[in-house]
Structures are given as C-alpha cells and as structure tokens.
C-alpha cells in the first residue's frame, strides 16, 4: 500500500491558493509524474485549466458545502482516482475543526497545512474579521504572505503569527518588481538600562521577544508588573508572574508568563488564591533552561525583589 500525502491549503477567496497549488504541481522537483487529486472547496476568479492539468496527471473535483468533505468522499476518491498526492483548496470561511472528524483513508497521511494570505488585504481582514483570520493561521504548518509590498513590517507580522501559532514557518513573496526589506532585528526595549524596564502594555511583545532572542536577555535583569499565578502542581519555590494575552479575539485569550524562582522569604507574596487577583512588581534575573512546563528550553526568571502593585490600566496585553 502506497503512502499518500494529504495537503490542505487555506486562505480567503482570491488569496492565491489556486496559484500556489498549480505552481507546486508544475514544479518538476515536486511532481515526479505521479497522479494528483485536487479537491476544491470554493471557486474564485482563477480556475484550473483542464488541459494543463491533464498533462500534469491531475484530477479536480469541486465541493459546494462543508459537509461534503467527509471520510466517505475521501474513500470514494481513493477508489476512483487512486492518487499519489491530494490537495484540498480549503474554503477560508470554513472552520478547520470540521476536519478533526474526517478520517483519512488507509495509507493517506496529513503532510502539511498551509495558509496563503494576501498581504495587501491582511490588515483589513485582521481588523474586521480577526477571529476568522486567526482560524486560518492557528493550525498551519506554514503561513505564506504573498503580494507583499516594500513597506512590509516583517517583525510585526511575525509577532502576530507567532502569537497564534508558535510552530508556524513564515514565508514572504513579493509583488512583481518589488524588493522586500530584510526582517528588522530591532528591540523595542531599552537594553542599556539595568534593569530593563518592560512597560505594562508591552509585556506580550516582551514575552515573544524573550522566547526568540536569548542573546538579548540571558543574564540580564528586568523589571515588570505581573499577575501572580501558582497552583497545587507548581514546584515549591516557584511561581509564574504573567498577564492575560489576546492573540486575536476573546476566545484565544490565555495567561502567558515564565517560571520564576523565589527565595523562601518571598513566598508569602506569591501564594496563589483563586479568589484574589494579586498584582506584583518583579525585578528578576533572566536565565534560560529546559522546563517541563515549556516542554523545551525557555526563559527562567530568578526574583531579586517582589512588591505588591496596583493593577495596570489595561489588564489584557497583545503580541504586536
């Protein structure tokens, strides 16, 4: 039995999904002459050329409603087309969760989930349809921003994507004739200060920066305000000072922070009471190491001082 990779390409209508699939199938390094099946879940202005696809040994079927994308359909496709590769051009307004109940035929495996985003319309969609755009990014292995212009801020886009999906790879494709700038490696915090001051509204930005830039913070001292989090599973002598962060919408709100070691005399200040929202100002030294809580290497704070603090004006922070 052959292994059949199953690719899902997501994005809004006219974002460039059809072009990506067509160019992939035309790439001789990808297409080794095997048979392909493309399942189209929405039809845009750009269509698949049946003559061209016949030469590429590719069949195309079109679905009209989300319930049509089912395990039964895929089994029928396996029997009728016996493809070596399968692409699904997924409708950008359909929820990805609907795929969790769709069992792939034996021998088929989920190879990659890609999101295609038109940079020229991204800001408008992000401001007005944030939950839907977040759904497109959240579960992707790769996020491709196409039709990029010279004014692109790659660092801001990276923070936006990584706030929703830490594991996603990010790619940029320029409009014809446009040369894209390199991603800026600028820090928004004053690294000359000791301790480095983290403004209340920028905790989310610092959280992402500290995860990605060990060289900036390893061994440095920081000062920030955070909400005390500690539960029965917390290792003695530690707590997590952090903030509630919103990646795209209220449904994606989550507590983010780093493990912080404390001296015994500091313990009374960080005892967690679920009926109390205790805010503290922390001065801590930043180190890095593996923690089970992260499942990887990450920042580990060692508190030098902890004092009670008033809650910030805005309790929720963002990643960009």
Q: Which two tokens stand for residue 263?
A: 């001296």
Global pTM?
A: 0.76
CB contact set of 86 (below 8 Å; sequence gap of 6+) = 4, 5, 6, 7, 36, 37, 38, 39, 77, 108
Under the banding of pLDDT at 50, 70 and 90, the label for residue 32 is: confident
Measure the CA–CA gap between 262 and 173, rounded to whole angstroms. 47
Q: Is the pLDDT of residue 143 over 80?
A: yes
Domain regions of the chain by residue span:
4-174, 196-317
* Helix (H), strand (E) at residue 78: helix 71-81
Say which CATH topology domain 4-174 has.
Rossmann fold (3.40.50)
| Domain covering 196-317 assigned CATH 3.10.129.10 in the classification | no
Q: Tokens 């313990």 appear where?
A: 267
CA distances from 56 to 33, 44, 159 (A): 7, 21, 38
pLDDT at residue number 274: 66
Of 162 and 116, which is predicted with more confidence? 116
- Tens-place pLDDT, residues 91-108: 888 887 777 778 999 999
Q: Would you state the pLDDT for residue 49?
A: 83
Q: pLDDT averaged over the chain?
A: 89
Q: Is the pLDDT of residue 44 over 80?
A: no
Cis peptide before 195 (omega within 30 of 0): yes
Show the tokens assigned to 282.
Answer: 């922390």
């Amino acid at each position: 039995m052959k292994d059949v990779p199953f690719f899902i390409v997501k994005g809004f209508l006219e974002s460039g999904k059809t072009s990506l699939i067509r160019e992939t199938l035309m790439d001789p390094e990808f297409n080794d002459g095997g048979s392909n099946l493309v399942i189209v879940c929405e039809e845009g202005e750009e269509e698949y050329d049946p003559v061209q696809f016949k030469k590429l040994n590719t069949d195309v079927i079109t679905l009209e409603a989300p319930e049509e994308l089912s395990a039964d359909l895929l089994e029928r496709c396996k029997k009728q087309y016996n493809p070596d590769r399968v692409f699904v051009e997924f409708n950008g307004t359909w929820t990805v969760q609907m795929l969790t109940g769709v069992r792939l035929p034996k021998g088929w495996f989920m190879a990659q989930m890609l999101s295609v985003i038109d940079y020229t319309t991204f800001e408008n969609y992000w401001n007005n349809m944030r939950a839907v755009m977040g759904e497109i990014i959240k579960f992707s292995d790769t996020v491709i921003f196409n039709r990029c212009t010279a004014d692109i801020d790659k660092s801001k886009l990276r923070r936006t994507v990584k706030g929703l999906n830490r594991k996603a790879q990010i790619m940029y494709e320029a409009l014809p004739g446009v040369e894209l700038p390199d991603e800026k490696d600028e820090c928004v915090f004053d690294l000359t200060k000791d301790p480095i001051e983290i403004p209340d509204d920028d905790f989310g930005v610092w959280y992402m920066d500290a995860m990605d830039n060990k060289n900036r913070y390893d061994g440095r001292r920081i000062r920030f305000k955070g909400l005390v989090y500690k539960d029965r599973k917390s290792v003695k002598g530690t707590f997590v000072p952090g903030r509630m962060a919103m990646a795209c919408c209220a449904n994606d709100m989550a507590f983010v922070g780093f493990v912080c070691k404390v001296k015994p005399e500091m313990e009374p200040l960080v005892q967690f009471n679920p009926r109390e929202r205790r805010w503290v100002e922390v001065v801590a030294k930043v180190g890095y190491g593996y923690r089970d809580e992260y499942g990887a290497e990450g920042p580990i704070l060692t508190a030098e001082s902890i004092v009670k603090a008033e809650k910030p004006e805005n309790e929720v922070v963002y990643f960009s």
